[in-house]
Amino acid sequence: MEKNEIKEIYFSKIITEEEVMEAAESTGFIQRKGGKIHPFDFITVLIFRLATSVPPSLRLMTSLLMKPASRSGIHQKFTERAVSFLQCCLQTVIAKRIAQNRN
């Protein structure tokens, strides 16, 4: 098992793919299902894979996604909706951590 696979497995314990999809739909990050850039893949690449890359780039991001996508396609995803999506995911993770600490 590769290092990135381990991080993705750990990440899926922090926030599930279903929670990520719900955040993506509620924020308008995705407007239709079946697009080339899956929200869980997008957030995983941003958090785990690009964080260890110097310098991060759209070209690198395209090579790390599960499905092939163009650099311009990825560039178009960086919008206010993407910011809202990432904030929503972060809020979900924080809420879950607080709930875990209370137990």
What b/e string do you get for 8-47 counting C-beta neighbours within 10 Å, with b at 16 or more?
Answer: beebeeebeeebbbebbeebebbeeeebebbbbbbbbbbb
Q: HSE-up of 86 (CA within 13 Å, CB side)?
A: 13
* Averaged pLDDT for residues 68-76: 89
Structural domains counted in the chain = 1
Domain that holds residue 28: 3-102
* Averaged pLDDT for residues 26-46: 87
Helices 80-102 and 17-27 pack at an angle, to 10 degrees, of: 140
pLDDT of residue 58: 86
Tokens linked to 11? 């990440």
* pTM recorded for the entire structure: 0.80
